[in-house]
Chains A and B, each alone.
Chain A
């Protein structure tokens, strides 16, 4: 079982729709959860982070965390073609002194005009 799992996609949504990206993690003690956006050929850009169960909203983005189900999601409302990118889910696990990010393989999102 991978430590962080994401559907690789590709996920296609029409412009203006809601894009829903999902991520599950295996370490029940994971503490912090992050979503990064990565355009082709570029580096990851932090777009959301969430530490507590529930929802966190920032503009068109909502992160949802359910620690009991070991599940974190990202909703993108009013999707735009500029949102087309790979979205990486990352968690910080509970073990070790380093707080390294453990990433999923990413979900490729395409927003169709």
Chain B
């Protein structure tokens, strides 16, 4: 069965950096498109970033463009999100999400990892 396990969240000061990881199993990771989606405490869902199966196509939400970098290692079945210049408004649970096809919907979600940006 599909499993997506995020890690790397934690408390970081404004302006700091954090790298999130997502370990995938139960499917052929290199065949699928992936996204990061976040949810601020008590708020709704916000798409953050998308990466194609090969890693050749990448998109970011305007709110994180220039600060966040998505990447993947298909040999390690892993997805990453490098987050720099963090702001208080980046505080959220970050979900790793599998997409069944390019520009598709969000099929399977991980359990999420909490990122808190606070001094």
Does B bind A?
no
- Residue numbers of B with Cβ under 8 A of A are none
